[in-house]
Amino acid sequence: MTDYRSDDALAQSIGEVAIEHLAALVRLDTTSPPGNERQATDYIAAVLAAEGIESVVVESEPTRANLVARLKAENPAGRPVMLMGHTDVVAVERDKWDQDPFGGDIIDDFMWGRGTLDMKNQVAGQLAAFVALKRANLPLMRDVVYAAFADEEVSGTLGAGWVYEHHRELIDAEFALNEGGGGQVEMGGARFYTCGTGEKGQSILNVTFRGKPGHASTPIPDTAMEKLGIALERLRAWQPRLTITEPVRALLETIGSALGGNDQAEIRRVLALETPVWDDFADLPLSDRDRSRLYAITHHTAVPTLVTAGQRINVIPSDVTLGIDCRLVPGTTPEEWRQEIAGVLGEIGEVELVNRNAGVVFDPHSPFFDAITGTLTDLVPDARLAPTLIGGRTDAAWFPDIKVYGFYPMLPVDRDGAYDGTVHGHNERIHIDDVRFGARFAYDLVAGFATSTS
Amino acid sequence: MPTIVADLALEASLRAEAITLLQGLLRLDTQTPPGNERIAAGWIAAVLDREGISCDIVEAAPTRATIVSRLRAASPTDRPVMMMGHTDVVTVEPAKWDRDPFSGDIVDDFVYGRGALDMKGQVAANLAVFLAIHRAGLPLTRDVIFCAFADEEEGGVYGAEWVWNNHQELIDAEFAINEGGGEPIMIAGTQFIGCQVAEKGSCRLKLTAHGTPGHASVPLAETAFRNLGVALERLHAWEPPTVIVEPVRAMLETIADVLGGESRALIAEALATDPPSWAPLAKLPLTDDELRSLHARTRNTVVPTMIHGGSRINVIPSEIVVDVDGRTLPGEDPEAFRAAVQAVVGDAATIELVIPATGTAADVESPFYDAIRATLARISPEAHLMPTMSSGGTDAPLIPGVKVYGFFPFPPSDRMPIYEPLVHGHNERIHVDDLAYATRFIHDLIATFATS
């Protein structure tokens, strides 16, 4: 079988192109809302056009542009594989940043900017890989689709969801590479890469607290604002139950068998428990960061993020609304969850479900998963790959009949916490070696997988 | 000898004129923001001009007009007395009204419109009185000033505060009658009527809860929302210390004198200790609302009223800002107040002063207060005048050189419960008999006081 993987020269050229694309994309302000992703699709379409690649841009609403392009196999033996991503980014609190969040400046080998991790890096790297695949003119056995969606950060109803509903023929893939995985977990001194093979669902709850209104000059009891305080305290004190899903079980088993010894025994012991609780995980050799991630994918969560109350300084508001971002482990319905939170809060608020996305699980046993494993271990020989459940919500949830794997790896290098808390936070940035590495991985994966007949 | 105390004919003419003026003012949309009080000032100026009275209109910012006019004493022996008010009104939700809020329509003897109670009614009454005194050519011993400020509802920066700092000579009164008092209060079957001699300061605070930001899919321990919950709980659990300032002491002593018996004993018990004790006051024969109101007048208070936290559902914000309505007693140092609130919330949030303010108090022992009492004794002999301190919110603290008394008296009637939700609420309206009563009262008070 011919080896179509990149050599160092090709990898270097793909990497430099990826860095260039990333800087260009970061400089386009696609903060959503309003998104205005057309700026990004214009850029990508121009890059593709220069290579003689046609792209299709479809807009769900003016400026909410989605781009899809395709390298066709002459005599396809399998259904397409897709490199997918989104071009919108979340808002920034500009004054909290040390560098321009839309500057794309490289300082000490880190490129700064909103989207450098979530996920213009992958959009740029996949674009560089896609163009390189075109230039390489490989004997494709299946089409390769490149997709950049709008509106992932708000909901996807104007992006992936809309494209799936109105232009499904554009994205008729069997497999897709997406964001959401590629992170590394340190456990017992060993490093594991995780590949998202499922994700939690996102349900948004709106809680309305009502109380007596009045003039703020005279305090009164039982106000909506007082109920808000009580509710936040109850949420904080509450301990949601632990749920282990198949991807998490597979993750822990993979880690256990790699570590062996006492660690494996401990993992087996915990997995064998009939009703494990979080304290049972206390002895697993995890860093704080990985522990909080493991917590997130084994628990339904309810995180308050939005609150609105009051119109005038001197009026005690009659109602306060609290938005709670809930992430549900697959298996629990949003309505069940609504009732549970209503129980936690007691009688003090009315809990309403405003968004109901159930979680999804994709089968990790597939040739594409195997190709991901093979490509990774070619590049990082001692790497181990473990499936996992992704704590966040991505566009994967829109595509029930595509096996979407969240995997875009970085180098096995400790960046001293430079990435921690920066996704959706302040000072988001990426080491340019990680930009290069991701792009090379995407190229090698698709070059191998799309040319194979198996 | 000109008529000083209104006779039946003057009473009828004051009544008719006040109603007409009020309807005219209500038809001018002076909702603030933006205010646009220039339309009211211009309208009043035209009314004055028809009578040959000149006026000054000053604007702190374009359209934010305050109008001042003066009837001069030929040989003044005392400093001026002022009838003050404001022409701006709070916003309306027209869909919730049964009548056009800017129509001034009269339905079943109620004049409808935003500002009927707060406070175009009193502005109309003041203006009718001002015109009547002018026409009567009374032998004034002090100037009489009519003043209608802009921007009371949003804090007075473009109104009373600006005029005081920039055109003090226009409003250099010794005494003023203002909005804020005049409501009948029934305590244990005895009729009182409040005269607002003091008010608390509206001391606006900003509470900021900080925390680790992040993606909402991964719960964090130390978030702004966690700290917000803690801070709100601490604020609501706080019982600020009881402090009895002079005007409140005078109010309690008036109640004790009139009611006697157990009420006198409870008040004496409360005042006997230092610091004063709330527990005996809680046993006074008052309704829940009245007790809460007394509670608020015997301490500084904090009430969080506005929060707009977070920007996106899936982002844990790094900070949440809460606007807190603080009310400070006369004499309270705003910075000390801030520090006290900071100590209450502790490490859960930081507290900043946004608008530092302290309360204000006029003297209960003054010839003007005596004149109010005497006028009330003549017109409504069954009512006892009681000094009160409001919990804040008028222009009075903004003109610190003037002794301001809040008094727009209502005769006891079954209409009082109707009025309660109307100020800043829907279907604001005033009964023509109540407008007429207050107009006559203000006429007799000012005509007497300015000629004595």
Query: pLDDT tens for residues B394-412?
Result: 999 899 899 999 999 999 8
> How deeply is A172 buried, as exposed, middle or buried, from its count of CB atoms within 10 A (0-12, 13-18, 19+)?
middle
CA atoms of A435 and A262, how far apart (whole Å): 37
More confident position, B304 or B273: B304
**Residues in Cβ contact with A162 at an 8 Å cutoff, skipping those fewer than 6 apart:** A60, A66, A151, A156
- Quick: pLDDT tens for B175-193: 999 999 999 988 888 899 9
Choose among A71, A53, A69, A74: nearest CA to A141: A74
Q: Do B204 and A313 touch (CB under 8 A)?
A: yes
In this prediction, residue B393 has a pLDDT band, given cuts at 50, 70 and 90, of confident
In this prediction, residue B3 has a pLDDT band, given cuts at 50, 70 and 90, of low
3-state secondary structure of A286: strand
Q: Do B315 and A424 touch (CB under 8 A)?
A: yes
**Residues in Cβ contact with B218 at an 8 Å cutoff, skipping those fewer than 6 apart:** A292, A293, A295, A296, A301, A391
CA distance B15 to chain A (A): 31
- Quick: pLDDT tens for B80-109: 999 999 999 999 989 989 999 999 999 999
Portion of chain A with pLDDT greater than 90, in percent: 72
- Whether the CB of A218 is below 8 Å from some CB of chain B: the reply is yes
User: How many Cα neighbours within 13 Å face the side chain of A411?
Assistant: 12
DSSP string for A103-147: T--EETTEEESTTTTTTHHHHHHHHHHHHHHHHHT---SS-EEEE
CA R_g for chain A: 23
Residue carrying structure tokens 């549900």: A328
- Quick: pLDDT tens for B408-440: 999 988 999 899 889 888 999 999 999 999 999
A319-328: strand order across its sheet = A350-356, A201-210, A319-328, A301-309, B301-309, B319-328, B201-210, B350-355
Choose among B4, B168, B146, B172: nearest CA to B76: B172
CA atoms of B323 and B333, how far apart (whole Å): 20
Region of A244 please: left (phi>0), alpha (psi -120 to 50) or beta: beta
**Residues in Cβ contact with A267 at an 8 Å cutoff, skipping those fewer than 6 apart:** A252, A253, A255, A256, A259, A284
**Chain A residues near residue B217 by CB distance under 8 angstroms:** 200, 202, 296, 301, 303, 325, 327, 391-393
Q: Do A93 and B235 touch (CB under 8 A)?
A: no
- Quick: pLDDT tens for B280-336: 999 999 989 889 989 999 999 999 999 989 988 888 999 999 999 999 999 999 999
DSSP tag of A422: T
- Whether the CB of A22 is below 8 Å from some CB of chain B: the reply is no
What is the arithmetic mean of pLDDT over A13-35?
97
Choose among B437, B416, B357, B404: nearest CA to B145: B404
CA distance B399 to chain A (A): 21
pLDDT of residue A332: 87
3-state secondary structure of A302: strand
Q: What is the mean pLDDT of chain B?
A: 94
Nearest CA in chain B to A329: B217
CA distance A356 to chain B (A): 14
Nearest CA in chain A to B328: A217
Q: Taking a C-beta distance cutoff of 8 angstroms, is the pair A259, A188 a contact?
A: yes
What is the arithmetic mean of pLDDT over B29-34?
96
| Residue B196 amino acid letter | Q
Is the per-residue pLDDT at B220 higher than 90? no
Nearest CA in chain B to A315: B305
Nearest to B318 among A96, A204, A230 (CB): A96
- Quick: pLDDT tens for B337-367: 999 999 999 999 999 999 888 888 988 889 9
**Chain B residues near residue A228 by CB distance under 8 angstroms:** 229, 232, 307
CA R_g for chain B: 23
3-state secondary structure of A201: strand
Q: Do B292 and A220 touch (CB under 8 A)?
A: yes
**Chain A residues near residue B231 by CB distance under 8 angstroms:** 229
Q: Taking a C-beta distance cutoff of 8 angstroms, is the pair A111, A435 a contact?
A: yes
Q: Do B225 and A307 touch (CB under 8 A)?
A: yes
Choose among A352, A345, A282, A300: nearest CA to A321: A352
DSSP tag of B383: P
pLDDT of residue B443: 98
pLDDT of residue B1: 42
Q: Do A153 and B312 touch (CB under 8 A)?
A: yes
Nearest CA in chain A to B206: A313
Choose among B204, B195, B205, B202: nearest CA to B231: B205
* Cβ within 8 Å of B, A 137-196: 153-154
CA atoms of B158 and B146, how far apart (whole Å): 18
Q: What is the mean pLDDT of chain A?
A: 93
**Residues in Cβ contact with A400 at an 8 Å cutoff, skipping those fewer than 6 apart:** A360
B106-107: strand order across its sheet = B106-107, B110-112, B429-431
**Chain B residues near residue A293 by CB distance under 8 angstroms:** 218
What is the arithmetic mean of pLDDT over A435-449?
97
Q: Do B233 and A230 touch (CB under 8 A)?
A: yes
CA distance B202 to chain A (A): 8
Q: Do B310 and A311 touch (CB under 8 A)?
A: no
Q: Do A293 and B218 touch (CB under 8 A)?
A: yes
CA distance B346 to chain A (A): 15
CA atoms of B242 and B236, how far apart (whole Å): 16
Nearest to A305 among B231, B233, B313 (CB): B313
CA atoms of A248 and A393, how far apart (whole Å): 16
Nearest to A425 among B200, B214, B235 (CB): B214
- Quick: pLDDT tens for A380-422: 988 889 898 988 789 998 998 999 999 999 999 989 889 988 9
CA distance A221 to chain B (A): 9
pLDDT of residue A359: 85
In this prediction, residue A259 has a pLDDT band, given cuts at 50, 70 and 90, of confident
Is the per-residue pLDDT at A281 higher than 50? yes
* Cβ within 8 Å of B, A 288-317: 292-293, 295-296, 301, 303-317
User: How many Cα neighbours within 13 Å face the side chain of B203?
Assistant: 29
pLDDT of residue A250: 85
Is the per-residue pLDDT at A190 higher than 60? yes
Burial A337-373, CB ≥16 within 10 A → b, else e = bbebbbeebeebbebebebbbbbbebebeeebbebbb
Q: How many CB pairs under 8 A join A and B?
A: 183
What is the arithmetic mean of pLDDT over A47-53?
98
**Chain B residues near residue A235 by CB distance under 8 angstroms:** 229
Nearest CA in chain B to A392: B217
Q: For the whole prediction, is pTM greater than 0.80?
A: no
Q: Do B295 and A219 touch (CB under 8 A)?
A: yes
pLDDT of residue A219: 92
Residue carrying structure tokens 């000053």: B58
CA distance A316 to chain B (A): 5
Nearest to A228 among B218, B232, B318 (CB): B232
Q: Which of B90, B202, B305, B318 to mutate to test the interface with A (most CBs of A within 10 A)?
A: B305
pLDDT of residue A454: 60
Portion of chain B with pLDDT greater than 90, in percent: 83
Q: Taking a C-beta distance cutoff of 8 angstroms, is the pair B68, B402 a contact?
A: no
**Chain B residues near residue A357 by CB distance under 8 angstroms:** none
Nearest CA in chain A to B153: A314
Mean pLDDT lowest for which of A186-195, A313-322, A361-370?
A: A186-195
Strand segments, DSSP code E, in B3-157 are 56-59, 65-71, 81-86, 106-107, 110-112, 144-149
- Whether the CB of A286 is below 8 Å from some CB of chain B: the reply is no
Is the per-residue pLDDT at B2 higher than 60? no
Nearest CA in chain A to B237: A226
